[in-house]
Homo-oligomer: A and B are copies of this chain.
């Protein structure tokens, strides 16, 4: 099943990562920012890593590695798939990128979102819908009442470390 990302329309303006002037600024600020994050982690700033971040920052959907690789190749036609995998893993580790592991599909990726959101998979269309907010009960209520969705199941995985 193919996943298509759309923006939920619980309220206007939409939550699209590309919409809004502040986000444009954020995207531009991204470049010096990620360099510092990498260096602070003792990692090198390579053109491959820059390319992956550029492409992932420019897109408002949730590409998988194959899709990302095709787009990144337009910036750097010598980059390899293995490097895209390694780069995404690195960027995930330093907290710049979020990896979405969904059922029976290759992992998808997004820049670590400035505004928290979770995801809803439309079982019929395969759409991947972004849901603003953090409160599951609230989300369930909104989805049920404001959108016409019937929730089949939900599953939250929290990654944590002992404090």
Contacts and interface: CB of A to CB of B under 8 A. Distances in A.
Interface of A: 98-103, 118-124, 131, 134-137, 139-140, 143-144, 148-163
Contacts of A136: 134-137, 156
Which among A119, A123, A154 has the greatest number of chain B C-beta atoms within 10 A?
A: A154
Contact of A162 (B122, B137, B139, B162): B122
Name the prevailing secondary structure of the A interface residues.
strand
B123 A160 contact: yes
Nearest to A125: B162
B149 A154 contact: no
A134 B161 CA distance: 21
Contacts of A103: 99, 101
Q: How many identical subunits does the complex contain?
A: 2
Contact of A161 (B100, B119, B123, B160): B123
29 contacts: A99-B103, A101-B101, A118-B157, A119-B155, A119-B156, A119-B157, A119-B158, A120-B158, A121-B159, A122-B160, A122-B161, A122-B162, A123-B161, A124-B162, A135-B135, A135-B136, A143-B158, A143-B160, A148-B162, A148-B163, A149-B161, A150-B161, A151-B159, A151-B160, A152-B159, A152-B160, A154-B156, A156-B156, A156-B157
A149 B160 CA distance: 6
Which among A99, A150, A159 has the greatest number of chain B C-beta atoms within 10 A?
A: A159
Given A134-B137, A135-B136, A160 B120 contact: yes
7 smallest CB-CB distances across A and B, nearest first, come from A136-B136, A149-B160, A118-B156, A156-B156, A154-B158, A150-B163, A120-B158
